[in-house]
Homo-oligomer: A and B are copies of this chain.
């Protein structure tokens, strides 16, 4: 059994690569829910959905988010009547949110709904939310726009403000009182290998680590943990990971990631572009593997999956 800690798009790519080179039914993904939101009354789990769609082969490779072959009838009508449209929801994607919200209102847990949606999409990989309890990432802006709140919900920062603003701090509301979802700690404890996907260390992996028990479970399995750096040549391929690392006092480099992960990960996979950082990373008592880490297509994702499995 393989366990992976997962955020959104980067994780979805590596999980697809792993599922191509490893029995997907022997793969468990523990997925960030800190960036979940309720909009229009609908419970939306962007990272769970990104991972599910990718593993189902339904991810939209053109946009990099959402569902392939998506249509926008609801969104166009919502725009026409003056509704909130900064968070784009396609028609196929909406069916997921309607399903989830209805099931949660019936008393199902997020774990149960996530499993049902994965089964409906014929995803063999076991998908676990990091917690069934609500954890919400809040972002304090360094220089709030005039009239704006100083602290905004994650998707306000990420989508509405297009993460084009400076961040002073991050907090994970509800994390201290949250329990890991059923199976999360057991999966980490019993896995042959724990993979930390190339996701945002601060706002994708950070919330997972903030759920009580998870960090301890990882520390106990440090030798089995292989992380993949999401930072290549100092930059994130997508999203604000580089900027967030700098703004929160870290170094935006594979070495900066290594410093954050060293307490609980014995191995870090870094890109060939960062080969020169390997000695400094090994000084942190991490094994450093240098490999191509840009997953531009299924073949390169599968190749990175092989690297992680062989680590």
Q: Counting CB contacts under 8 A, is A78 at the interface?
A: yes
B residues in contact with A82, CB < 8 Å: 99, 116, 120
* Contact of A101 with B71 in the complex, beta carbons under 8 Å: no
* Contact of A95 with B78 in the complex, beta carbons under 8 Å: yes
Given that A42-B41, A81-B96, A81-B121 are known contacts, is A73 also in contact with B91, CB under 8 Å in the complex? yes
Q: Which residue of B lies closest to A82 (CB)?
A: B120
Q: Counting CB contacts under 8 A, is A92 at the interface?
A: yes
Q: Counting CB contacts under 8 A, is A80 at the interface?
A: yes
A residues 69-88 in Cβ contact with B at 8 Å: 71, 73-75, 77-78, 80-84
B residues in contact with A105, CB < 8 Å: 38, 40-41
Between-chain CB contacts (< 8 Å), 27 pairs = A38-B105, A39-B102, A40-B42, A40-B97, A40-B99, A41-B41, A41-B98, A41-B102, A42-B101, A71-B73, A73-B73, A74-B74, A74-B91, A74-B98, A75-B95, A77-B94, A77-B95, A77-B96, A78-B95, A78-B99, A80-B95, A80-B120, A81-B95, A81-B117, A82-B116, A83-B98, A91-B91
B residues in contact with A259, CB < 8 Å: none
Binary B-proximity of A93-114 (CB < 8 A = 1, otherwise 0)? 0111111011011000000000
B residues in contact with A38, CB < 8 Å: 41, 105
Of the four ranges (under 10, 10 to 19, 20 to 34, 35 or more), the interface on chain A belongs to: 20 to 34
Copies in the complex: 2
Question: Nearest-CB distance from A75 to chain B (Å)?
Answer: 8
Question: Nearest-CB distance from A158 to chain B (Å)?
Answer: 19
Q: Kindly identify which residue among B42, B77, B81, B120 contacts A81, using a CB–CB cutoff of 8 Å.
A: B120
* Contact of B102 with A83 in the complex, beta carbons under 8 Å: yes
B residues in contact with A73, CB < 8 Å: 71, 73, 91-92
Q: Kindly identify which residue among B80, B83, B96, B101 contacts A41, using a CB–CB cutoff of 8 Å.
A: B101
B residues in contact with A78, CB < 8 Å: 95, 98-99
Q: Counting CB contacts under 8 A, is A43 at the interface?
A: yes
Distance between Cα atoms of A80 and B116 in the complex (Å): 12
A residues 23-50 in Cβ contact with B at 8 Å: 38-43
Binary B-proximity of A106-141 (CB < 8 A = 1, otherwise 0)? 000000000011001100000000000000000000
* Contact of A40 with B101 in the complex, beta carbons under 8 Å: yes
For the A-B complex with A42-B98, A73-B91, A74-B91 known, give 13 more contacts whose Cβ atoms are closer than 8 Å. Answer: A38-B105, A39-B102, A40-B98, A41-B41, A41-B43, A41-B101, A74-B92, A74-B98, A77-B92, A77-B96, A78-B95, A80-B95, A80-B120
Binary B-proximity of A250-291 (CB < 8 A = 1, otherwise 0)? 000000000000000000000000000000000000000000
